[in-house]
C-alpha cells in the first residue's frame, strides 16, 4: 500500500514539473510567424477599407436621394407653371376642331360713354408749378463779378509760439485788480434831520449875563495849561 502511495506521489510531482516546464516554453517560444503577422495585417486593412467604402456608399446614396427629391420638386413646379400659362390660339383652334365644333369668337368689350376712372388717373400739374426765374441777365452783364477767395492753410506756414502763448495766459490769470475799499455814502436824509435838530432853539444853551469867570486881576487863563515844550 505504501508503494502505491509513493508511486502516485512521484507521478503527481513529475506531472506538475512537466506542466511548469511546458508552460514556460509555450510563453517563451509560442509566437506568431511572419506569415501569420502579415495575414493579420491584411485582415485589419481589409476591414478598414470595407468601413470606408460603406461610408462612401451611404454618402452617395444620400446625395442621390436629395438630387431625386430636388428633380421631382423642379418637375412639379414646371408642370404648375405650364398649367398656369394661357394656351396659344392655334392649339385652342385645333382642340375645337378635334371636337368637331367651331371655335367661338372672343368677346370684346367696348367702353360706352365717359371713362369712370378718369378722376382717379394722375393729372399733369407741371403748369401749376412755380415759374423758374431766368438768369440770362446775370450772364449778359458787362462787368463780371469777382469772387474773393481766401487762401487756405499752407503746409509751409510757421506755427505760433505755443510756449509764449501759455506764459501770457498764465500772467493774465495771475493779474488780479485790487479795488480799494470805498466808504459807503452817508444817508443825506439822516444828516439833514440831525442838523435841523441841532439848529433848533431848544438845543441851544441859554446866555447867562451874570455868569463870571472866577479869575482875579492879572491872572492868566493859560497859566495852568501845560506848555508845548514840556
- Compute the distance between CA of residue 80 and CA of residue 196 in angstroms, rounded to an integer: 123
pLDDT of residue 228: 43
Report the sign of the C-alpha dihedral through residues 35, 36, 37, 43, in that order: positive
Count Cβ atoms below 10 Å from residue 94 Cβ, excluding itself: 13
pLDDT of residue 50: 94
pLDDT of residue 71: 94
Give the burial string for 9-30 (b: 16+ CB within 10 Å, else e): eeeeeeeeeeeeeeeeeeeeee
Mean pLDDT calculated for residue range 169-191? 69
Tally of residues, the chain: 230
What percentage of the chain carries pLDDT values higher than 90? Answer: 23
Q: Which residue has the higher pLDDT, 25 or 122?
A: 25
pLDDT of residue 169: 82
User: Picking from 44-48, 92-96, 187-191, 203-207, which range would have the lowest pLDDT averaged per residue?
Assistant: 203-207
- Residue 190: CA atoms inside 13 Å, Cβ hemisphere, count? 3
pLDDT over threshold 70, residue 7: yes
Quick check: pTM over 0.75?
Answer: no
CA torsion angle for 68, 74, 80, 85 (degrees, to 10)? Answer: -140
Highest mean pLDDT among 37-41, 58-62, 86-90: 58-62
- Residue 26: CA atoms inside 13 Å, Cβ hemisphere, count? 6
pLDDT bin (cut points 50, 70, 90) of residue 128 is: low
Highest mean pLDDT among 11-15, 79-83, 198-202: 11-15
Q: Which residue has the higher pLDDT, 84 or 23?
A: 23
pLDDT over threshold 50, residue 211: no
- Compute the distance between CA of residue 41 and CA of residue 48 in angstroms, rounded to an integer: 11
Residue for cell digits 513529475?
A: 14
Q: Is-contact 22 15, C-beta < 8 A?
A: no
How is the chain split into domains, by residue range?
34-83
pLDDT of residue 155: 59
pLDDT of residue 46: 94
- Compute the distance between CA of residue 22 and CA of residue 14 in angstroms, rounded to an integer: 12
- Compute the distance between CA of residue 5 and CA of residue 9 in angstroms, rounded to an integer: 6
pLDDT of residue 192: 81
Amino acid at each position: 500500500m505504501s508503494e502505491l502511495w509513493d508511486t502516485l506521489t512521484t507521478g503527481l510531482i513529475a506531472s506538475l514539473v512537466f506542466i511548469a516546464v511546458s508552460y514556460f516554453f509555450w510563453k517563451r517560444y509560442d509566437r506568431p510567424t511572419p506569415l501569420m503577422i502579415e495575414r493579420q495585417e491584411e485582415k485589419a486593412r481589409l476591414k478598414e477599407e470595407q468601413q470606408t467604402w460603406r461610408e462612401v456608399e451611404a454618402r452617395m446614396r444620400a446625395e442621390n436621394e436629395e438630387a431625386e427629391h430636388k428633380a421631382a420638386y423642379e418637375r412639379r413646379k414646371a408642370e404648375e407653371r405650364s398649367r398656369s400659362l394661357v394656351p396659344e390660339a392655334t392649339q385652342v383652334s385645333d382642340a375645337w376642331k378635334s371636337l368637331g365644333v367651331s371655335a367661338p369668337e372672343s368677346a370684346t368689350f367696348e367702353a360706352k360713354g365717359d371713362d369712370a376712372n378718369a378722376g382717379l388717373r394722375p393729372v399733369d400739374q407741371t403748369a401749376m408749378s412755380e415759374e423758374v426765374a431766368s438768369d440770362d441777365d446775370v450772364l449778359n452783364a458787362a462787368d463780371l463779378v469777382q469772387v474773393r477767395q481766401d487762401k487756405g492753410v499752407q503746409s509751409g506756414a510757421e506755427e505760433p509760439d505755443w510756449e509764449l502763448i501759455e506764459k501770457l495766459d498764465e500772467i493774465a490769470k495771475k493779474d488780479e485788480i485790487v479795488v480799494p475799499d470805498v466808504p459807503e455814502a452817508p444817508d443825506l436824509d439822516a444828516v439833514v434831520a440831525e442838523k435841523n435838530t441841532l439848529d433848533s432853539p431848544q438845543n441851544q444853551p441859554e446866555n447867562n449875563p451874570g455868569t463870571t469867570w472866577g479869575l482875579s486881576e492879572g491872572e492868566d487863563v493859560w497859566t495852568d495849561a501845560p506848555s508845548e515844550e514840556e
